[in-house]
Structure 1
């Protein structure tokens, strides 16, 4: 079984000063994937990145709340993380294993931080890591445009760190390849 993992689609990133590339398309893709997961009975996990007390993304900050554009129904597991890797210092791996999940479908933000490190960690922990090609994003940086960061990470992560799939081709009923 595969679980859907949604990283850091929170108010401070979606509505912050650095606009994410293709954000509206990402939100639509993630909502579609949540519908697919629900229809298949697959668990849905949403990570919220939390910073230190007193920081703009400290515990309780409205910037860390899940973006209201995501269609949550209340059965999703929402958890806090403090590191880019969603498995580090969280009980995500244990929760996935307790539900019988052998794979995780990874989406969210930001590509070069949390998406990258979580894909790598998932495979290291024995999960079949699946990255949705159009299911992650970031903002432009002084060095590289977001479009190029996403393309670079799709190319780099595919193979040794994850399987790359398009959202419309993914079914939560499919077996592990």
Structure 2
């Protein structure tokens, strides 16, 4: 039996207001998994990005706040970060070790930045990573659409290399049975 944690990364107002790919589906799936985790006594932790003074993700601003629909309960931890990886210069790894966590269910924003960096850092630290389908997203850029970025990272880069990308319903079973 593994020790599992649900991690929600950077689902913050400023990013949601830009309407990332599959925004509604991603939020609904995150809400469903957060609710399932809580109902089954699995810890949910949050990670929030501070991009510095004068940015849309400046600490303390409305844009920096975690999106209301998936906001943490008062007893749930928020790890603050300033780099793409939730592990870089934070206390996250130490905390996970103290809880003997070996499996991370990872979701959030943005696919090619903070989710990618956090996934690979977690992999390097020896964690098993599960990425539920349609629980991460990003924005179109000058090279690729948010949809293409989502598909490329989830199915070409991460799946069966750094993580297991599996349907939300399968992840719900993992949360219920572990």
TM-score scaled by length of structure 1:
0.92
Question: Does the 8 A contact of 2:46 with 2:72 survive in 1?
Answer: no
User: Which one of 11, 14, 19 corresponds to residue 13 of structure 2?
Assistant: 11
CA-to-aligned-CA distance 1:129-175 (integer Å, 9 cap, x gap): 11112110011111111111101001211112111111111122556
Calculate the aligned-residue CA RMSD, in Å.
Answer: 1.4
Gaps of 5+ in 1: none
Distance 1:147 1:59 in 2: 29
The Cα offsets for residues 44-101 of structure 1, whole Å up to 9 and x where unpaired, read as 1111110123333222122110011215332221121101111111111111121221
Q: Is contact 1:31-1:71 (8 Å) kept?
A: no
Q: How many residues align?
A: 173
1:66 aligns with 2:63: no
Rounded Cα–Cα distance in structure 2 between residues aligned with 1:5 and 1:90 = 14
Question: Aligned equivalents of 1:90 and 1:73: distance in 2?
Answer: 21
Distance, in Å, in 2 between the alignment partners of 1:21 and 1:55 is 22
The CA deviation at 1:40 is 2.1
Q: TM-score, normalised by structure 2?
A: 0.91
Structure 2: state its 5+ residue gaps.
none
Q: Distance in 2 between matches of 1:72 and 1:87?
A: 19
Distance of 1:124 and 1:77 partners within structure 2: 23
Q: 1:81·1:90 contact (CA, 8 Å) conserved in 2?
A: yes
After superposition, residues 29-44 of structure 1 pair within 5 angstroms as 29-44=29-44
Q: Which residue of 1 aligns with 2:167?
A: 166
Moved over 3 A (4+): none
CA–CA separation in structure 2 for the residues paired with 1:2 and 1:128? 9
Q: Determine helix, strand or coil for the equivalent of 2:135.
A: strand
